[in-house]
Amino acid sequence: MMLIEETAIADAALPVDQFKAHLRLGTGFAEDSVQDEVLKGFLRAAIAAIEARTGKVLIERAFSWDLNGWRDRTAEVLPVAPVTVVDAVTVTDAAGAETVIAPADYRLEADSQRPRLRASGSALPAIAPGGSVKIAFTAGMAADWGNLPADLGQAVLLLAAHYYEYRNETALAAGCMPFGVTSLIQRYRMVRFGAGVAQ
C-alpha cells in the first residue's frame, strides 16, 4: 500500500500574514517578506504533523492510493478523511495493462473517521495475482484556510509557533506536541475501540 499526495497545498492557501501576527513580528518595514519562506515551512510542518496525528486532511488536495489487494471486497476503508470525491479507480494486471473501472460500479461512503470505497453491486472489481489497484481521490476538511474549523486553524498556528520558537532545540522528546495543540485536536483524532482496532 502506498499513499501519494498528488497536489501540495498552494503557498497562497497558507496563512502567512495571520502567522506573522500570531508571532507578533514587526510590520511596515521594507523587509516584511524576508522570512516568508521560513514561515511557510513551519506552517507546512505543523499542518503535516496535525494531519498525521488526527488522520484528517486539513486543506483539500488530491491523493492516490495504490493497493495490491482488497482487505474487504465489499468496501475498502480509505487511509485519510474526510474524502470528498473518488476521482477514479484503476485496476492494473500483472502485465501492466490498466482498466479504468466505471464509476457506476462503486460509490463513496462518506464518513468523518473512516470513509469507504463501497461496491455498487456485490463486490469491488477483482485484482488478479500480481496486479494492483489505484484509487484517486480528493480529501480535505476545507478548500482554503478561511473555511477550516477555527480550533484546527488555531492548533496549526500554535504548533507552527512552537516549531519557530524552538527551531534550534534538539532535546525535546520524540513526538512532543504542546498541550494546547493536543487539546484542540483531540476531538478530531481517530476513535478506537477494543484492542486498538479502529472502528
What percent of the residues of the chain are helix, what percent strand, and what percent coil, each to the nearest 5?
A: 30, 25, 45
Which range among 15-24, 29-38, 57-66, 119-128 has the greatest average pLDDT? 57-66
Q: Which of 27-36, 98-107, 172-181 has the lowest mean pLDDT?
A: 27-36
- Pair type for strands 75-77 and 83-92: unpaired
Asked whether the predicted pLDDT for residue 27 surpasses 70, the reply is no
Higher pLDDT, 34 or 27: 34
Question: CA torsion angle for 111, 112, 116, 118 (degrees, to 10)?
Answer: 10
Nearest to 47 by CA among 143, 151, 170, 159: 159
Q: Which of 12-21, 149-158, 160-169 has the lowest mean pLDDT?
A: 160-169
152 close to 158: Cβ distance less than 8 angstroms? no
76: helix, coil or strand? strand
Q: What is the mean pLDDT of residues 45-49?
A: 96
56 close to 115: Cβ distance less than 8 angstroms? no
Please tell me the predicted confidence (pLDDT) of residue 171. Answer: 62
Please tell me the predicted confidence (pLDDT) of residue 185. Answer: 94
Query: Tens digit of pLDDT for each residue in 63-100?
Result: 999 999 999 999 999 999 999 999 999 999 999 999 99
